[in-house]
Structure 1
């Protein structure tokens, strides 16, 4: 944590404390207010466990949570607001230390959250006290609009403080990054928060405590359900990402050998007619020996890009070895598969590519050999043996001089 950030935290905390102490006369010390303090402390603590991290870089995190402190501040003033933040934030910090679920600079983060929350909520309270008692009817639409604007202003100020804090820590370095952070937070979610706070404030004024508790519980359940759904989506995205990484060849972006087993399993279930093509680049070792492995990698990547121009979305391209690939051609007749593979072969031998070699561009050409075995679902042969047949046909093409296609279908004895 940067020294400038620590100075900022201490400054904000001192200003917040001064605001709270200066307005201590607005804090009514009675049973109702103490009950509210306990009630808000308990539910804000619960909500703090559901907070969403909206930015996390270099061990610094900024969190977004429902701002109910403002509602309590309306009845208890900035002093009560300071007391509420001290109780909730310190108890949460102690809880995290007991659970050993603490982040770096935990206490500094706690003091930052206390100071900034008191600061931006006090500004909202100042505007509230300035307008509501003398100008606005609490039962009018203007009142709702005002509460929404105050919560929106508090949210914007909160993000401004966070942006400045992260700027001091060099977690964000440009004005654009700061503006992106400040803009976080949807208008609809803030409007829903405004509605909740208005209802809570209304029922507190009527001393309908059961309704206040009910709203807190309802909001907690809704937020918890939302976070569960978000976490499920996040887990699915992560699973899909890891699965993609497990089945993707890093050099070419095509499927890797791990995916071959998955595709074979799929073919066992689907039992569809497919053309199985095994192909590799002719005399690839000569390319590596004449140039270097970097040029060899460029040729492999070019070959993958070249093959992808001829296949359909349902077809599957797998890198099964260094310069060897397997193609599953689907929804085609044997004649169509043979015609396509021959087209690939003939066009490849006419293609030249420019590769980078020793800081200059070098033009070269290459060819490939192919083995095509057409697998039909009615054949009395496994898909694994069909792949072996295609591999044998590739070997046949190599033996017969390379740059050719060897084709065969299954024939019963």
Structure 2
């Protein structure tokens, strides 16, 4: 509650400061009729654009954080005219959100923050721009270069104020969050703001109203199109992320049984020659019973890491259940598959798992058994049947004493221990 109070005081103080600063630049230095016409156009389109703005923040604070067209209005009307425009513009949005019932709990103080912050840092931009404008005219493309530098100064002020506000409201608490926030700025976005405001300012000063309106409409269409594509990409990323979650075993990071079934369907009937390997940690229950399930999980993770490290990019490694794993060794000969599996078996036997148990570091030795079935995956030999053959070979390896490889190339069985 105390943080919320400080947050509101900050917003109100910022607004009050902006009023004092703007009054220092009164009265309005442009014709009232032209100011009212320009302000009306800006209010209409800025209100429409408000639905396209990206919002950053959570908790008690929520602020507009997107492309602003205020720079050109500030240069035209000055700080006093800017305060009038921002007050009308922000309260139009405020009442619009109230009417649509989309307003935040602190919408009023958020509105004061937006009026105050936009007025203050655009006043700095205003002073900077006109101080250097005579010199910019001497430089090729100096007009737009000056707009760009002004936009950089304005954006930095905006970010600093936002970080302070987020800190007070509790939305930013660590230095890494501050750095992450500042990294959201893009040089291309700043360039877009500079060019857009440069053209708008030119149209306003030259009273080219048709061009001004056409430019606003074109900008809205482009922004709307960009937002739609952005949302489509975000939806696709979310869909891919959920698909990955559905196909991932989170203990080991390997693909799970569902992904294995999907991959088997893809390979079925393709005539691909590969090895299906079913591997199982020997006497795993005794590890759980002798230590605990957390250490049993460490053994599973250790074994998964070994399997993954010995697999190629073309191979598939799955945790197919409990302490059982399945591999699809692809693009290799029968002898090469056997060699890989022998390397895995010997590596597991020679590398115990180091864990902490009862306050002391403990090395847990373990072994695994393997069934390898090598053949061409045809319509007559579907993956499901080949997998059953590999699983049967594993069971036979267990019966023969464990810590061994039981292999078949579809014609003969070879035991390696």
TM-score greater than 0.5 by the shorter chain: yes
- State the alpha-carbon separation in 2 of the partners of residues 59 and 267 from structure 1: 53
Q: Paired residue for 1:377?
A: 377
Kindly tell me: are residues 128 and 329 of structure 1, through their superposed partners in 2, closer, same or farther at Cα, counting changes over 3 Å?
A: closer
1:295, 1:355 within 8 Å by CA — same for their partners in 2? yes
Find out whether 1:96 has 2:97 as its counterpart. Answer: yes
User: CA offsets, 1:276-335, max 9 Å, x none?
Assistant: 111111111111111111111111111111112221111111111110111111112223
Q: Taking structure 1 as the reference length, what is the TM-score of the superposition? A: 0.90
Q: Paired residue for 1:308?
A: 308
Find out whether 1:56 has 2:57 as its counterpart. Answer: yes
User: CA offsets, 1:240-280, max 9 Å, x none?
Assistant: 22222221111111111121121112212744111111111
2:269, 2:377 within 8 Å by CA — same for their partners in 1? no
Q: Kindly report which structure 2 residues correspond to 1:11-26, keeping only aligned pairs within 5 A, or say none.
A: 11-26=13-28
Q: Paired residue for 1:236?
A: 236
Shift of 1:410: 3.9
Q: Kindly report which structure 2 residues correspond to 1:179-198, keeping only aligned pairs within 5 A, or say none.
A: 181-182=181-182, 184-198=184-198
Kindly tell me: are residues 262 and 59 of structure 1, through their superposed partners in 2, closer, same or farther at Cα, counting changes over 3 Å?
A: farther
Find out whether 1:125 has 2:126 as its counterpart. Answer: yes
Q: Paired residue for 2:400?
A: 400
2:122, 2:154 within 8 Å by CA — same for their partners in 1? yes
1:45 counterpart (31, 44, 47): 47
- State the alpha-carbon separation in 1 of the partners of residues 207 and 379 from structure 2: 80
Q: Paired residue for 2:415?
A: none
Moved more, 93-102 or 248-257: 93-102
- State the alpha-carbon separation in 2 of the partners of residues 156 and 380 from structure 1: 67
Shift of 1:35: 1.9
Shift of 1:82: 1.9
1:57, 1:171 within 8 Å by CA — same for their partners in 2? yes
Kindly tell me: are residues 172 and 88 of structure 1, through their superposed partners in 2, closer, same or farther at Cα, counting changes over 3 Å?
A: same
- State the alpha-carbon separation in 2 of the partners of residues 352 and 77 from structure 1: 74
Q: Taking structure 2 as the reference length, what is the TM-score of the superposition? A: 0.89
User: CA offsets, 1:28-54, max 9 Å, x none?
Assistant: 56433222111101111122222223x
Moved more, 157-166 or 343-352: 343-352
- State the alpha-carbon separation in 2 of the partners of residues 113 and 357 from structure 1: 57
- State the alpha-carbon separation in 2 of the partners of residues 269 and 227 from structure 1: 43
SS in 1 for 2:314: coil
1:393, 1:407 within 8 Å by CA — same for their partners in 2? yes
Kindly tell me: are residues 237 and 59 of structure 1, through their superposed partners in 2, closer, same or farther at Cα, counting changes over 3 Å?
A: farther
SS in 2 for 1:252: coil
Root-mean-square deviation (CA, aligned residues, Å) is 2.6
Kindly tell me: are residues 408 and 177 of structure 1, through their superposed partners in 2, closer, same or farther at Cα, counting changes over 3 Å?
A: closer
- State the alpha-carbon separation in 1 of the partners of residues 120 and 220 from structure 2: 25
Shift of 1:405: 2.0
- State the alpha-carbon separation in 1 of the partners of residues 312 and 189 from structure 2: 43
- State the alpha-carbon separation in 2 of the partners of residues 179 and 378 from structure 1: 55
Structure 1: segments with no counterpart, 5+ residues: none
- Number of residue-to-residue matches in the alignment: 409
- State the alpha-carbon separation in 2 of the partners of residues 348 and 176 from structure 1: 40
- State the alpha-carbon separation in 2 of the partners of residues 319 and 182 from structure 1: 41
Moved more, 74-83 or 251-260: 74-83
Q: Paired residue for 2:170?
A: 170
2:377, 2:383 within 8 Å by CA — same for their partners in 1? no
Find out whether 1:83 has 2:55 as its counterpart. Answer: no
1:368, 1:402 within 8 Å by CA — same for their partners in 2? yes
2:59, 2:170 within 8 Å by CA — same for their partners in 1? no
